[in-house]
């Protein structure tokens, strides 16, 4: 369904330790209750051949994940050199 939403859709699939994700969810006021994490992970489908996207490790700092995604998409980081 998401792919039909727009040509060039790019998926960023955060795959990592379930306990880390749960810990982060518990540390903030999240729109999704932590009790639903298990069912979400059970239904999460890995990227399929031909799907544009990448896997990232959610244990990485957010800034690093953003930099990896921007580099993969060949987009500027918004930071000026120097």
Q: Which region holds residue 8: left if phi is over 0, alpha if psi is between -120 and 50, else beta?
A: left
Indicate the SS3 state at residue 5: helix
Per the listing, tokens 């999460």 go with 44
Q: Could you tell me where the DSSP H helices lie in 1-82?
A: 18-26, 37-43, 62-72
Please give the domain boundaries of the chain with CATH numbers for all domains.
3-72 (3.40.50.300)
**What are the tens digits of pLDDT across the range 24-82?**
888 887 678 888 889 988 998 898 888 899 999 989 998 999 999 999 999 987 765 54
What's the pLDDT at 79?
65
The pTM for the full model equals 0.73
Please report the pLDDT score of residue 59 as a whole number: 92
DSSP one-letter string for 27-40: TS--SS-GGGHHHH
Q: Single out the residue of 34, 14, 18 nearest to residue 26, CA to CA.
A: 34
């Amino acid at each position: 369904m998401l792919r039909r939403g727009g040509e060039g859709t790019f998926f960023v699939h955060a795959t990592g330790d379930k306990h880390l994700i749960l810990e982060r969810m518990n540390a903030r006021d999240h729109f999704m209750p932590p009790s639903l994490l298990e069912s979400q992970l059970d239904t999460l489908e890995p990227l399929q051949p031909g799907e544009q996207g990448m896997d990232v490790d959610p244990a990485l700092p957010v800034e690093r994940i953003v930099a990896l995604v921007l580099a993969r998409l060949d987009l500027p980081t918004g930071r000026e050199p120097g």
